[in-house]
Amino acid sequence: MTIREDFLTTARIALDLLRHDEVARHWNTPSALPEFGVSGLAGHVAYQALPLPSMISAPVGDEPVVPLMEHYARAGWTELDVESDFHTRIRAGGEKLAAEGHAALCDELGRTLAELEKSLPGSENRPVRMPHWGPWAVSLDEYLLTRLMELVVHSDDLAVSVGVDTPEFPRPVNEAVIDLLTRMALNKHRAIDVVRALSRKERAPQDITAF
């Protein structure tokens, strides 16, 4: 499986979760995440795929292309409070995408994935960027890895929010996401603390979270 195939598979699993009746039933209720409603969280899940068609069809910019860990270091969002402007914009963006309702959001994501199934596999591994990142880009395949992480993490958030089982993702997807989260955790914690958390419960620290 390539990262492109893994992304499409993961996004399809997330779409199945979004289509769940319990998501529709809880649409206007709070989610498991502070300050995020279920509708906004669903919009944020969908957002991990929705911009991609325009991103891969847009002209390549002249921004520097940076490695993935440098991207996260530059972005700095993992250190921000939930009330920060950055996270407030993220929540507002999710709510905006969900504004037309549950069915409309699911339909939009379904159409986007149908388009990506045709266009994404043959796309070059070109630089891509999101405007709110700052003046840099990452390669498409590394961007897709970040979307895998977002889809897996936020699918769990959404499932917990509406009281359904978290979807099962393929093992290669879980391995890629756990590898990325581990590398991100090493940016915030001592390496030995991460090692102990994974190997020695009697010495494991309370927190090795990547965010």
Q: Which domain holds residue 69?
A: 3-166
User: In the chain, where does DSSP find H-type helix?
Assistant: 3-18, 21-25, 38-47, 52-57, 68-75, 85-97, 102-119, 140-162, 171-186, 191-199
**pLDDT band at 85; cut points 50, 70, 90:** confident
- Looking at residues 118-139, what average pLDDT do you find? 91
Is 151 within the bounds of a domain?
Answer: yes
0.85 exceeded by pTM = yes
Is 195 within the bounds of a domain?
Answer: no
| The pLDDT of residue 210 | 82
Is 110 within the bounds of a domain?
Answer: yes
Is 157 within the bounds of a domain?
Answer: yes
The yes-or-no verdict on residue 105 having pLDDT over 80 is: yes
Is 88 within the bounds of a domain?
Answer: yes
- Looking at residues 170-174, what average pLDDT do you find? 97
Tell me if residue 32 falls in helix, strand or coil: coil
- Looking at residues 68-75, what average pLDDT do you find? 89
| The pLDDT of residue 134 | 84
CATH of the domain at 95: 1.20.120.450
Whether residue 205 contacts residue 185, with contact meaning beta carbons closer than 8 Å, is answered with: no
Give CA–CA dist 113/8, Å, rounded: 7
Total domains in the chain come to: 1
Pick 1 or 154 by higher pLDDT: 154
